[in-house]
């Protein structure tokens, strides 16, 4: 592959644990953080100098790192990879964990893009989610980022929250638009089976909106965001022109990325692997000079093709069948066309001979379509 | 062997009343257990067959017993199947005996199955010894049992033996009673050979093995014999008895029980109830009571994956090798594609076949609602037997429509009798008899449409009586009934596999319930799905499944594509278990759920 790599750095610490989240994270511990950053630097340094053009600090809550930590990690990336001068360097942040100084420090360290986990602009909803910030804090965080000099700021919102009505959801969307971010992500709350939030919902009798309402919430939000100059470029992502997330696009464009840190995922050279999930074990393994990767798996061509197709469908522009076809040496349309026909008939899919893409109602039913590309025993 | 020292008997018992434990005690006390232990494998194979086998019956066991007075006896314990589906096989096993032990659980008392089989034993002129088992239980009520035996079954309870098979109490007393109170076999050694076939199975190495009871004459290896019903001649290759391991013998004389191997190719050639005689010197009369077993319950079996059709055919062929009572023929459904119409002795039999296909042959099956065999007289005067709603002629061509009727015997504690009578009435039953017994039990006899029983009668009976009522039934005839065919349409297309035959008066309610159930079972799809129930061209119920509008669009954590993929794989796996009818995906359970409605 000639495309430069994306580098992902996982920061598994949080100041408090949200009641709906099951990402790989734990409570912040200063000493563990220090050792963890050391281990990250060590793991990154084992790399081979390949070209890379994005770095993404994801979590957890990466903004719990001090600017000096971030600086050391970016430096390690630059030493061990050939990181382009105009690289996109994203840091996920919690609105209540930042100050202008701190943000300026990140910027000084080389961060070019900040992504705030706002989730909602309604305090009642934030409270239900167990978030520690309020709507005003979120707005202020964006202002601080601007003051610190960031011209690429993203805000995350979540819809389908417990007790959230369509109007309440659109209120958050309007508040977001009014703040003029450069990028926004819109997700639906996914309640994993044992999420503590489920219990709280049951106790308080909060329910999630019915499907038809959620569809309306999604479609209205996308229309509204687009009118405000934030163009949809992926199922859940919108951006001002030129501000799409180059790092995340690698996931959706059959790209390659290397993840560092506990539980980080990598896809490179036709293989996929995952690092050990436990923070302590990760620090220990790296400290002993061992690889942190477990579960290294070489993918078959079929699996790579399928992943390229179903992940590619997430992009608004769709997946270009002729180019995927030439990469994997298959006539994608004649192979999958018959199975795709019902979705084209229903208007969920659009195909113009080049790109195959989902319509907006199709995006809501993306999984139904993506299943066409899944063959059962490919892994 | 001297027939005066032979006793052939079976054990009549309700499930869990301790039949196999008592049999184990017999094996132990007669010294057969050691052999049993040595032949663990043989017995395991038997257990396996017992677990899976269509007959649900163990081999007969020959016990060598030395009586208290010092005489040597041969006792043949002949097993009987424990389920109403196999009623005919029970009569044949009993016909091979002179006596029966009536085993009753001292804490449970007499159950309907026990009663039905006790009557069968009486009809077959068997000597009966009541045994009250599990007297070691704190809840045992032996005197109450004795009263029930007298009052419900009409046997003399004073001779009942008190036993605990679990603890070994009463075992010898029972064996002594068998010797003293059961008659030895009658029959003449000089008469032409007459032997009753009461079991048969297919053995991959030896072909069909048949189990016989010699009535008259003698069987020897090399004998030229004839199966009278199928009129086929064979030469006996091997004779033996089960001790319990298979033991070759040089002859089987009057009253003896054993197996015969004679190069018989198919079990359908050696049917249960047939008579084995000598080719050269045939008995004048075959043993009475032979019947062709006729399937009573019918259902469509379809592979979920169309390409498994030929595999299914092979699997059915193999099953049929060992089960002459099971019937199948190819059937095509618009909805389900190519499959088979299968006939079974009853619901349990159907479940067994289904389970064997799934477990032993790895088939993924869709089963349609079971139905019964209807009798249709068309306007041209012809009589047709209809085993599938699809075969029902147009209403205009039907002069008379008859459905099979069963006579059901229900034994219940009196507190549940009200709800049971209500159930029987709801099921279009006609009360024949209602007997309040002194022992706080009620004997209810009803004629019921078999179709209704096939639906869900037994489950509901058990629920209503909290498990205490027991049921036995026999198909006793046909009656005329205003039945109609109800179709289910999905997005305007009739789904043939969902059609059922129902009573006209119940059609409307049933149609509504089925449509509602279908709405529950059919998951939302990309488009709205309309469900209708109709009789002829008249729609009697409609429901709709609204279009699916969204999947959950959640955040993907740090490029973890494997997780997304697993999610999609799981969803796809769920879809695979559905049948596509037109554009609509219908889950397998929907094809059976037609049965499960209107019962709450």
pTM of the model: 0.70
Average pLDDT score over chain B: 88
Please say whether the beta carbons of B470 and B411 come within 8 A.
yes
Exposed e or buried b for every residue in A24-35, given b needs 16+ CB within 10 A?
bbeebeeebbeb
Of A267, A343, A361, the CB nearest to B559: A267
Inspect the interface and report whether the beta carbons of A365 and B549 lie closer than 8 Å: yes
CA distance A4 to chain B (A): 16
Q: How many CB atoms lie within 10 A of CB B79?
A: 20
Q: pLDDT per residue over B131-184, tens digit each?
A: 999 999 999 999 999 998 998 888 888 889 999 998 989 999 999 999 999 999
Inspect the interface and report whether the beta carbons of A10 and B549 lie closer than 8 Å: no
More confidently predicted of A375 and B588: A375
Residues of chain B contacting residue A371, judged by C-beta atoms under 8 Å apart: 568, 571-572, 575
Cβ burial, residue A210 (10 Å; 0-12/13-18/19+): exposed
Sheet holding B61-66, edge to edge: B61-66, B72-78, B6-13, B99-105, B127-133, B161-162
The pLDDT assigned to B37 comes to: 57
Inspect the interface and report whether the beta carbons of A343 and B557 lie closer than 8 Å: no
The pLDDT assigned to B532 comes to: 96
Inspect the interface and report whether the beta carbons of B572 and A371 lie closer than 8 Å: yes
- Could you write out the three-class secondary structure of B506-561? HHHHHHHHHHHHHHHHCCCCCCCEEEEEEECCEEEEEEEECCCCCCCCCCCCCCCH
Pairing of strands B297-303, B275-278: unpaired
Inspect the interface and report whether the beta carbons of B551 and A368 lie closer than 8 Å: yes
Please say whether the beta carbons of A121 and A134 come within 8 A.
no
Q: pLDDT per residue over B36-89, tens digit each?
A: 554 443 333 444 444 444 345 667 899 999 999 999 999 999 988 766 677 788
Inspect the interface and report whether the beta carbons of A211 and B548 lie closer than 8 Å: yes
The pLDDT assigned to A69 comes to: 97
- Helix runs in A273-320, H state only: 279-287, 301-312
On whether any CB of chain B is under 8 Å from the CB of A54, the answer is no
Measured between alpha carbons, how far is B564 from B227 in angstroms, rounded to an integer? Answer: 65
Inspect the interface and report whether the beta carbons of B557 and A24 lie closer than 8 Å: yes
A-interface mutation test, from B555, B572, B575, most A Cβ less than 10 A away: B555
State the distance between the two ends of chain A, measured CA to CA, in whole angstroms: 22
Q: What is the ipTM of this complex?
A: 0.93
pLDDT interval class at B598 (50, 70, 90) = low
Evaluate if residue B113 carries a pLDDT over 80: no
On whether any CB of chain B is under 8 Å from the CB of A368, the answer is yes
Evaluate if residue B402 carries a pLDDT over 80: yes
- Residue window 60-89, chain A: list those with CB within 8 Å of chain B: none
The pLDDT assigned to B580 comes to: 83
What domains appear along chain A, each with residue ranges and CATH number?
5-252 (3.20.20.70), 301-373 (1.10.10.920)
Of A306, A363, A371, the CB nearest to B571: A371
Of B553, B557, B564, the CB nearest to A236: B553
Measured between alpha carbons, how far is B442 from B470 in angstroms, rounded to an integer? Answer: 11
Count of CB pairs separated by less than 8 Å, A with B: 108
**Closest residue by Cα to residue A349 from A338, A336, A362, A337:** A362
Inspect the interface and report whether the beta carbons of A376 and B571 lie closer than 8 Å: no
Q: pLDDT per residue over B473-519, tens digit each?
A: 888 899 999 999 999 999 998 898 889 898 998 889 889 988 999 99
- Helix runs in A15-99, H state only: 30-45, 67-80
- Residue window 180-199, chain A: list those with CB within 8 Å of chain B: 185, 187-190
Q: Give me the residues of chain A with pLDDT under 70, please.
A: 1-2, 378-379
CA distance B586 to chain A (A): 16
Residues of chain B contacting residue A236, judged by C-beta atoms under 8 Å apart: 553, 555
Inspect the interface and report whether the beta carbons of B555 and A187 lie closer than 8 Å: yes
Q: Closest chain A residue to B571 measured between Cα atoms? A: A371
CA distance A190 to chain B (A): 6
Of B526, B567, B569, the CB nearest to A346: B526
Residues of chain B contacting residue A368, judged by C-beta atoms under 8 Å apart: 526, 548, 551
Evaluate if residue B311 carries a pLDDT over 70: yes
Q: Specify which residues A239 forms β-bridges with.
A: A183, A231
Measured between alpha carbons, how far is A180 from A348 in angstroms, rounded to an integer? Answer: 31
CA distance B588 to chain A (A): 19
Residues of chain B contacting residue A187, judged by C-beta atoms under 8 Å apart: 553-555
Residue B9: what are its φ and ψ, rounded to 5°?
Answer: -150, 160
């Amino acid at each position: 592959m000639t495309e430069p790599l994306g580098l992902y750095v996982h920061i598994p610490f949080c100041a408090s644990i949200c009641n709906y989240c099951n990402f790989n994270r734990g409570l912040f511990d200063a000493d563990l953080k220090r050792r963890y950053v050391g281990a990250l630097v060590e793991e990154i340094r084992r790399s081979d100098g390949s070209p890379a053009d994005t770095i993404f600090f994801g979590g957890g809550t990466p903004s719990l790192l001090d600017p000096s930590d971030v600086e050391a990690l970016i430096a390690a990336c630059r030493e061990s990879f050939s990181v382009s001068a105009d690289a996109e360097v994203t840091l996920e942040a919690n609105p209540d964990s930042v100050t202008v100084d701190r943000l300026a420090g990140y910027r000084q360290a080389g961060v070019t893009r900040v992504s705030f986990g706002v989730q909602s602009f309604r305090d009642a909803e934030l409270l239900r989610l167990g978030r520690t910030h309020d709507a005003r804090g979120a707005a202020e965080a964006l202002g601080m980022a601007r003051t610190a000099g960031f011209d690429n700021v993203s805000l995350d919102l979540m819809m389908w929250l417990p007790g959230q009505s369509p109007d309440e959801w659109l209120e958050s969307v309007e508040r977001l638009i009014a703040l003029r971010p450069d990028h926004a992500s819109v997700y639906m709350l996914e309640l994993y089976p044992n999420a503590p939030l489920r219990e709280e919902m049951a106790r308080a009798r909060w329910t999630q909106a019915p499907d038809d309402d959620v569809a309306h919430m999604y479609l209205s939000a996308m229309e509204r965001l687009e009118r405000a100059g934030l163009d949809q470029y992926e199922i859940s992502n919108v951006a001002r022109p030129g501000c799409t997330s180059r790092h995340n696009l690698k996931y959706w464009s059959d790209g390659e990325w290397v993840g560092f840190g506990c539980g980080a995922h990598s896809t490179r050279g036709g293989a996929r692997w995952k690092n050990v999930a436990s923070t302590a074990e990760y620090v220990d393994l790296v400290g002993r000079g061992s690889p942190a990767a477990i579960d290294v798996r070489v993918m078959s061509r079929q699996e790579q093709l399928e992943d390229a197709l179903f992940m590619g469908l997430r992009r608004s522009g769709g997946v270009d069948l002729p180019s995927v076809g030439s990469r994997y040496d298959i006539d994608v349309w004649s192979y999958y066309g018959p199975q795709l026909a019902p979705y084209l008939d229903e208007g969920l899919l659009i195909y113009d001979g080049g790109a195959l893409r989902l319509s907006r109602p199709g995006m809501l039913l993306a999984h139904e379509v993506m299943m066409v590309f899944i063959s059962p025993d490919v892994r | 062997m001297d027939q005066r020292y032979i006793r052939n008997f079976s054990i009549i018992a309700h499930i869990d009343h301790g039949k196999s434990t008592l049999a184990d005690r017999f094996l132990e006390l007669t010294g057969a257990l050691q052999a049993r232990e040595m032949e663990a494998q043989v017995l395991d194979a038997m257990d396996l067959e017992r677990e899976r086998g269509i007959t649900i019956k163990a081999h007969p066991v020959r016990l060598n017993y030395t009586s208290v007075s010092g005489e040597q006896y041969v006792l043949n314990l002949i097993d009987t199947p424990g389920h109403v589906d196999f009623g005919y096989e029970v009569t044949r096993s009993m016909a091979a005996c002179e006596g029966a032990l009536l085993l009753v659980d001292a804490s449970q008392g007499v159950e309907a199955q026990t009663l039905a089989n006790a009557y069968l034993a009486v009809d077959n002129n068997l000597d009966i010894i009541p045994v009250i088992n599990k007297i070691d239980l704190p809840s045992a009520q032996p005197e109450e049992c004795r009263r029930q035996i007298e009052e419900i079954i009409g046997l003399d309870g004073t001779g009942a033996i008190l036993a605990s098979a679990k603890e070994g109490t009463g075992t010898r007393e029972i064996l002594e009673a068998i010797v003293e109170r059961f008659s030895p076999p009658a029959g003449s050694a000089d008469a032409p050979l007459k032997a009753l076939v009461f079991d048969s199975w297919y053995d991959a190495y030896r072909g069909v093995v048949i189990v016989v009871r010699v009535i008259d004459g003698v069987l020897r290896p090399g004998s030229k014999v004839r199966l009278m019903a199928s009129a086929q001649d064979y030469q006996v290759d091997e004779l033996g008895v089960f001790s319990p391991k298979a033991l070759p013998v040089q002859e089987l004389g009057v009253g003896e029980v054993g197996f015969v191997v004679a190069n018989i190719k198919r079990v359908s050639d050696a049917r249960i109830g047939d008579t084995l005689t000598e080719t050269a010197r045939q008995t004048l009369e075959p043993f009475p009571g032979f019947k062709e077993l006729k399937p009573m319950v019918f259902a469509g079996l379809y592979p979920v994956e169309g390409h498994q059709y030929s595999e299914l055919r092979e699997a059915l062929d193999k099953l049929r090798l060992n089960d002459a009572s099971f019937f199948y023929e190819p059937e095509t459904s618009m909805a389900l594609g190519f499959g088979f119409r299968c006939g079974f002795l009853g619901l349990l039999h159907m479940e067994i076949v289904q389970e064997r296909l799934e477990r032993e042959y790895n088939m993924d099956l869709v089963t349609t609602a079971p139905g019964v065999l209807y009798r249709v007289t068309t306007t041209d005067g012809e009589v047709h037997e209809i085993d599938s709603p699809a075969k029902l002629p147009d209403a205009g061509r039907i002069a008379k429509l008859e459905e099979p009727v069963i006579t059901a015997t229900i034994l219940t504690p009196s507190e549940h009798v009200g709800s049971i009578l209500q159930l029987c009435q709801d099921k279009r039953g006609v009360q024949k008899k209602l007997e309040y017994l002194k022992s706080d039990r009620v004997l209810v006899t009803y004629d019921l449409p078999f179709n209704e029983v096939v639906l869900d009668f037994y489950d509901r009976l058990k629920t209503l009586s909290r498990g205490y009522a027991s049921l036995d039934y026999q198909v006793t005839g046909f009656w005329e009934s205003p039945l109609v065919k109800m179709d289910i349409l999905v997005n305007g297309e009739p789904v043939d596999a969902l059609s059922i035959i129902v009573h006209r008066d119940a059609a409307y309610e049933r149609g509504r319930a089925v449509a509602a159930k279908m709405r529950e079972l059919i998951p939302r799809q990309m488009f709205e799905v309309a469900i209708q129930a109709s009789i002829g061209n008249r729609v009697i119920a409609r429901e709709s499944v609204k279009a699916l509008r969204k999947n959950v669009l959640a955040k993907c954590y740090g490029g973890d594509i494997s997780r997304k993929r697993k999610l999609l794989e799981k969803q796809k796996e769920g879809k695979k278990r559905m049948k596509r009818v037109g554009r609509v995906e219908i889950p397998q359970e929907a094809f059976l759920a037609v049965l499960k409605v209107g019962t709450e």
